[in-house]
């Protein structure tokens, strides 16, 4: 039997660290397993807004996060001649206390700092098997060790291992949005000014630059009919894929391709959402991308993970000793918001960022010119 307070979190990113923080504060003995050798760094800045700010405040982290806020950026849609079709967002000298961005790594470090002393964190480790018994979940790790935990929290991202072990192959929950996204952070390139994002789209493809701080994000997105066959561990293959898809495109694309060549440290994934009829099963529940990925197009994945952890903690606090009621409360309360964010990303995101054909591109450009961009 598990000690009733021993709980396991799989994944040490935003969902995992925030969930671990709250569980520790509620009096649980928390173990986190993270498959990577350390915190997984890199990626584009994270939006902090709305309820996330309140939750960070309740975690006592709002000031630390705010202190790392990046200046606001405005977003410019460009044509092949670098003419600005329209802009959205605020300029860097305008204050916007209700919404800001911070480096993904800064947020990870702050969350990690908040749990480092209170929880057992094991890197390079993963769950092999989960078996639910009467009062506990029996967990077999990838090194063969077995331990019992009262509750298990799957915070292991879009391709969640916990989801697969409990609910079965992940494809049944994957809503493919019709494309792929590549992102690499490089040192400042001189390709654009600071605190600006630029997007250049042709039918089926888009190139994006984010300029902030001393860095530039190089982003590429492309549409596909269905999912493409590639090995998600083979970085060289993914790099070749991007080079081939974007070869011959104008604007700043040749310089962007040159600046991401020969480096395997980047983010590349299908653009998808996770839609599940239920996020919990028995003593196991999912938090963040694992249960309800809203897609990179929503620009809200980091915030959603923190909101999910905060809502789950409130539910566990509200129903002490009754995880089933707590998980139900967590899900009933959060699901409408998740669905709203997912719906927004589905209806607007892809056609705005990466229009499918000339007609959709022309329609998008009209909306941009009219200032009617829906976000």
Ligand X SMILES: Cc1cc2nc3c(=O)[nH]c(=O)nc-3n(C[C@H](O)[C@H](O)[C@H](O)COP(=O)(O)OP(=O)(O)OC[C@H]3O[C@@H](n4cnc5c(N)ncnc54)[C@H](O)[C@@H]3O)c2cc1C
Contact positions vs ligand X (CB under 6 A):
10-16, 33-36, 40, 42-44, 126, 155-158, 161, 183, 267, 288-290, 296, 301-302, 305
Asked whether the beta carbons of 36 and 16 are under 8 A apart, the reply is no
Which residue, 301 or 310, has its beta carbon nearer to ligand X?
301
Q: Could you tell me which of 24, 75, 69, 19 has the C-alpha nearest to residue 353?
A: 75
**Smallest separation, CB 174 to ligand X (Å):** 14
CB of 137 to ligand X, least distance (A): 15
Contacts of 73 (CB under 8 A, 6+ apart): 89, 92, 101, 195, 196, 197, 210, 211, 212
The answer to whether 353 and 221 have CB atoms below 8 angstroms apart is yes
Answer for the pair 92, 69: CB distance below 8 angstroms, yes or no: no
Q: How far is the CB of 374 from ligand X (least distance, A)?
A: 19
Mode of pairing for the β-strands spanning 215-223 and 6-10: unpaired
CB of 299 to ligand X, least distance (A): 7
- Closest contact distance (angstroms) between CB of 60 and ligand X is 20
> Least Å distance between CB 262 and ligand X?
19
Residue 123 or 369 having the CB closest to ligand X: 123
Minimal CA–CA distance to 210: which of 81, 98, 70, 97? 70
**Residue 102: closest CA among 49, 51, 58, 155:** 49
Nearer to ligand X, 79 or 109 (CB): 109
Nearer to ligand X, 91 or 177 (CB): 177
Q: Which is nearer to ligand X, 11 or 349 (CB)?
A: 11
Residue number with CB closer to ligand X (72 or 296): 296
Cβ neighbours of residue 320 closer than 8 Å, sequence gap 6 or more: none
The answer to whether residues 60 and 73 touch, using CB atoms and an 8 Å cutoff, is no
């Amino acid at each position: 039997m598990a000690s009733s307070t021993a709980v396991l979190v799989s994944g040490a990113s935003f969902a995992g660290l925030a969930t671990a923080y709250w569980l520790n504060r509620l009096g649980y003995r928390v173990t986190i397993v993270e498959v990577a050798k350390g915190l997984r760094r890199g990626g584009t800045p994270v939006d902090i807004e709305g309820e996330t700010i309140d939750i960070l405040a309740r975690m006592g982290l709002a000031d630390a996060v705010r202190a790392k806020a990046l200046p606001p950026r405005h977003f410019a849609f460009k044509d092949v001649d670098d003419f600005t079709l329209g802009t959205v967002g605020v300029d860097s000298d305008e204050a916007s206390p209700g919404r800001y961005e911070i480096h993904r790594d800064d947020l990870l470090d702050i969350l990690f700092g908040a749990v480092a002393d209170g929880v057992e964190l094991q890197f390079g480790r993963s769950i092999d098997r989960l078996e639910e018994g009467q009062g506990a979940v029996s967990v077999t790790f990838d090194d063969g060790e077995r331990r019992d935990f009262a509750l298990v929290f799957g915070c292991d991202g879009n391709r969640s291992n916990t989801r697969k072990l409990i609910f079965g192959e992940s494809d049944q929950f994957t809503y493919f949005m019709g494309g792929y996204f590549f992102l690499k952070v490089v040192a400042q390139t001189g390709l654009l000014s600071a605190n600006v994002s630029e997007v250049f789209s042709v039918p089926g493809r888009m190139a994006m630059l984010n300029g902030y701080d001393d860095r530039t994000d190089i982003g590429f997105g492309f549409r596909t009919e269905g999912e493409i066959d590639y090995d998600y561990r083979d970085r060289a293959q993914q790099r070749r894929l991007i080079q081939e898809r974007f070869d011959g495109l104008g604007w700043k694309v040749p310089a962007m391709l040159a600046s991401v060549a020969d480096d395997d440290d980047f983010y590349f994934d299908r653009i998808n959402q996770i839609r599940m009829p239920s996020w919990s099963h028995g003593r196991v529940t999912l938090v963040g991308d694992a249960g309800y990925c809203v897609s990179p197009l929503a620009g809200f994945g980091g915030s959603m993970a923190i909101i999910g952890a905060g809502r789950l903690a409130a539910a566990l606090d509200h129903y002490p000793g009754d995880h089933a009621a707590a998980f139900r409360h967590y899900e009933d309360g959060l699901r409408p918001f998740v669905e709203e964010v997912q719906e927004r990303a589905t209806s607007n995101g892809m056609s705005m960022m990466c229009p499918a054909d000339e007609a959709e591109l022309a329609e998008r450009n009209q909306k941009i010119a009219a200032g009617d961009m829906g976000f």
